[in-house]
């Protein structure tokens, strides 16, 4: 009887972890696609302009805005730690202000920061094999498929 409840508990925890990682992977893929897609010429998507008063920040020349984005979005404590849970994969506040600022600043954020992802166990995500920008190469390591990332640290354990 006790063994059965332990198995149920473990199964429930594994399913919860699987759903969490699946959601985080989908969220990370969407964020990275948004950032990467907005920096390519082949993508014609432009930010939607809402009917709202013009921001003073947006009235500055693009070169000045880029310097501000770099100063605000460059993480001083290196590397930028990303928690892979659905509740904690938010972007910095500046990237959530409006579509135009997100369109301009997201590539700066991803290009100028190092990211560290802590994963408890790589086995549950191994069947996913990869996303467009990273892949589980073995149970002991994760590799990047994209040359845009200058540094990323993945840590975890595989039993």
Helix axes 99-111, 62-73, angle to 10 degrees: 60
| pLDDT, tens digit, 9 for 90 and up, residues 54-111 | 778 888 889 998 889 888 888 766 555 555 554 455 678 888 888 899 889 888 887 8
Burial 102-141 (b: 16+ CB within 10 A, else e): bbbbbbbbbeebebebebeebebbeeeeebebbbbeeeee
Q: 3-class DSSP state for residue 158?
A: coil
This prediction's pTM: 0.41
DSSP secondary structure letters along 97-133? S-HHHHHHHHHHHHHS--EEEEEEESGGGGGG-B-SS
- Residue 48 structure tokens: 């939607």
- Residue 30 structure tokens: 């969407």
| pLDDT, tens digit, 9 for 90 and up, residues 19-52 | 776 666 666 666 656 555 444 444 455 555 555 5
Determine phi and psi for 89, rounding to 5 degrees. -120, 45
């Amino acid at each position: 009887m006790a063994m059965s409840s332990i198995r149920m508990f473990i199964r429930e925890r594994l399913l919860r972890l699987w759903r969490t990682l699946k959601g985080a992977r989908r969220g990370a893929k969407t964020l990275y696609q948004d950032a990467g897609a907005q920096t390519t010429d082949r993508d014609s998507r432009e930010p939607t302009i809402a009917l709202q008063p013009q921001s003073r920040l947006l009235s500055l020349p693009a070169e000045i805005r880029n310097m501000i984005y770099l100063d605000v979005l460059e993480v001083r404590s290196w590397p930028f730690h990303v928690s892979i849970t659905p509740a904690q994969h938010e972007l910095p506040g500046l990237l959530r202000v409006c579509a135009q600022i997100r369109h301009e600043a997201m590539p700066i954020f991803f290009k100028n920061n190092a990211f560290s992802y802590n994963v408890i166990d790589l086995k549950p995500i191994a069947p996913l094999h990869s996303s467009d920008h990273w892949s589980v190469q073995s149970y002991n390591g994760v590799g990047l498929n994209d040359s845009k990332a200058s540094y990323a640290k993945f840590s975890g354990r595989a039993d």
